[in-house]
Amino acid sequence: MADKILVLGSSGQIGTDLVESLREAYGNDNVVASDLREPSAERLAQGPFEQLNAMDAEAVFEVIKKHGITQVYHLVAMLSATAEKMPMKGWDLNMTSLFNFMELIKEGHISKMYWPSSIAAFGPNTPVNDTPQYTVMDPGTVYGISKLSGELWCDYYNKKYGCDIRGLRYPGLISYKTEPGGGTTDYAVDIFHKAVKGEDYHCFLSEDRRLPMMYMPDAIKATIGIMEAPAEQVKIRTSYNVASFSFTPRELNALIQKEVPGFKTLYDAVDERDAIAAGWPQSINDSEARAHWGWKPDFSLEAMVKDMLKNLK
């Protein structure tokens, strides 16, 4: 029987690109997009869509049964900056939606699930450079606490009940199709939108704040890669470190300037997101993901900058 895939959060930054790639690989009708928000007319025309609240266990179960869903990509989350403004809402959304689906796997209604973690699961006492897979994890944000807790629950459901749940610790993700919403790493997308409009960018992180980042095509490759890997190769069931490149706002600005002469970034809008970023790693060691299931990114930092500008123009 062909796999039937449900993508939750399909109108978000990752979901938009992921649905497209999954539909190319599995066929439009085998990938059900879903989101709390109403879909665009374009999205609706491309294939099945369900408007769904991932917190509503009954509604979720109905959608799973209606479409005979076998695999779920669960991309619903409140990101770091927004969750700091509404801690209990962030915790509730991030955890309740996860438990709804873990219970469905446990009861045998679906066979495989993807649930992403983040570099936010690390914290101020984590080694900042070449951060290993196994290390101190003391997240200082609600989002990070929910990601670390979720990772441990995914591992528990795997060990205790044999649930096939897989995850990646995403760095900041850069994409041109959909803008991110509510994250600390969003500046690395916002800056490109200003550059192509010929405007200055007022950055909310300080100029030397280095963070690990990844271009969306590589994030999609990693996401589908871990889901398609044979189960025995996915040896880590909390979540895998994955890495691509790291840069500071100053370095990104310099690379954009090479392509867009006259572009300028000003550091006059630094806010509380800079303190969040200060508690995160600067670069990530992903040797386990490379060794276990063959992860390898394609895009260099320079290639990403050129591709972003080309597509946004």
Helix, coil or strand: residue 171 = coil
Q: Cβ-closest residue to ligand AKB? A: 183
* Residue 234 binds ligand AKB, judged by CB under 6 A: no
* Residue 167 binds ligand AKB, judged by CB under 6 A: no
Identify which range of 58-66, 115-123, 127-135, 149-157 contacts ligand AKB by CB under 6 A. Answer: 115-123
Q: Which of 185, 223, 241, 253 binds ligand AKB (CB under 6 A)?
A: 185
* Residue 249 binds ligand AKB, judged by CB under 6 A: no
Nearer to ligand AKB, 187 or 299 (CB): 187
Q: How many CB atoms lie within 10 A of CB 26?
A: 16
In which element (H, E) is residue 134 found?
none
Shortest Å distance, C-beta 3 to ligand AKB: 27
Left (φ > 0), alpha (ψ -120 to 50) or beta: where does 108 sit? left
At CB < 8 A and 24+ separation, what contacts does 44-52 make? Answer: 46/19, 47/19, 47/23, 49/10, 50/6, 52/8
Could you give the CA distance from residue 120 to residue 43 in angstroms, rounded to a whole number? 30
Left (φ > 0), alpha (ψ -120 to 50) or beta: where does 9 sit? left
* Residue 183 binds ligand AKB, judged by CB under 6 A: yes
Nearer to ligand AKB, 32 or 116 (CB): 116
Q: Which of 118, 175, 223, 246 binds ligand AKB (CB under 6 A)?
A: 118
Q: Evaluate whether 231 touches 108 at the Cβ level (below 8 Å).
A: no
Q: Examine the residue annotation and report whether 143 is marked as an active-site residue of this protein.
A: yes
Shortest Å distance, C-beta 171 to ligand AKB: 6
Residue that the structure tokens 């439009």 belong to: 28
Cα–Cα distances in Å, from 268 out to 92, 205, 206, 233, 271? 34, 9, 9, 47, 9
Could you give the CA distance from residue 97 to residue 141 in angstroms, rounded to a whole number? 19
Q: Which amino acid is at 227?
A: M
Shortest Å distance, C-beta 243 to ligand AKB: 13
Q: Which residue out of 143, 157, 187, 201 is catalytically annotated?
A: 143
Q: Which of 139, 167, 172, 297 binds ligand AKB (CB under 6 A)?
A: 172
Q: Which of 119, 168, 214, 219 binds ligand AKB (CB under 6 A)?
A: 119
Q: Which of residues 42-101 bind ligand AKB (CB under 6 A)?
A: 79-80
Q: Please report, as ranges, the residues that interact with ligand AKB according to CB under 6 A.
A: 79-80, 118-120, 143, 170, 172, 183-185
Active site residues: 143
